[in-house]
Chains A and B, each alone.
Chain A
């Protein structure tokens, strides 16, 4: 299952056409200084939240706007959803038209490992699983509205819930 000294190939699963797009995104990314916040406390005392790009929403909550993307393929829904720490695949809707979503619907842990995080808490490897976790839909060619509205709202909620560590999980 594992091999030492692997170097991950970012492009292994992408078609040549998609590689060209992603390489342009990498080349044109803003080269701002990388932010750095030292861990405020040891991981076994820290509160941890997950942030998934999978377009997850709770059943009963409004799902991400896939119809809007079908009407305007350049656009992606820039909003976010809150996922409580107790959520399982039975509670979740996945709205993401760029990946096969059946694996997540079968087992949420493949993208949002809340049960494994709870085990890490029970075994003292992290301090606490945050009450709230977050998802947005990662296809955002223009992330301006996401950065201006959704990110501050997520950060405010994390702050109110005492989150020390946010694990951002691309999908």
Chain B
């Protein structure tokens, strides 16, 4: 996940884990890791003593980086849009979010 962003958003207690997007507790059908991550998260919650505390959990993802598959098969609509128009990517990367973001259509 992206604990730097979670912390910046003001989460009171953060349990950071370096797992790929879509599987924050581990691989499917790996209950040992899933349960251990949940317990480590509960321990971090119990032990946090001040606002904004970030506990870095000591778990290693079992796949090498080049083996990790977390992107959707079809790119998301915003990725397709900014891929077609670099000026829109620059807008997104600079935090200049257009008013279209606040209404459906």
Give the number of A-B contacts (CB < 8 Å).
Answer: 198
Q: Is the interface of A mostly helix, strand, loop or mixed?
A: loop
8 residue pairs from A and B, CB less than 8 Å apart? A6-B60, A8-B3, A32-B10, A100-B69, A101-B72, A106-B29, A119-B35, A167-B45
> Contacts of B42 on A, CB cut-off 8 Å?
43, 120, 125-126
We find that the number of chain B residues with CB closer than 8 angstroms to chain A is 69
Q: Is the CB of A5 within 8 A of B58?
A: yes
Known A21-B92, A142-B97; judge A110-B58 contact (CB<8 A).
Answer: no
Q: Which of B1, B11, B104 contacts A75 (CB 8 A)?
A: B104
Q: Which of A36, A113, A144 contacts B34 (CB 8 A)?
A: A113
Q: Is the CB of B22 within 8 A of A110?
A: yes
A-contact bits for B23-39, CB 8 A (1 contact / 0 none) = 11111110101110011
Q: Is the CB of B78 within 8 A of A73?
A: yes
Question: Residues of A at under 8 Å CB distance from B?
Answer: 1-14, 17, 20-22, 24-30, 32-37, 39, 43, 54, 65, 68-75, 97-101, 103-104, 106-107, 109-111, 113, 116-117, 119-120, 125-126, 139, 141-142, 144-145, 165, 167-171
Q: Is the CB of B39 within 8 A of A125?
A: yes
Known A34-B12, A98-B72, A110-B23; judge A10-B101 contact (CB<8 A).
Answer: no
Distance between Cα atoms of A98 and B20 in the complex (Å): 13
| Candidate in A9, A12, A104, A109 with the most chain B CB atoms within 10 angstroms | A109
Q: Is the CB of A113 within 8 A of B60?
A: no
User: Closest 9 CB pairs between A and B?
Assistant: A73-B77, A107-B28, A34-B51, A8-B16, A142-B101, A10-B4, A29-B8, A99-B22, A74-B101
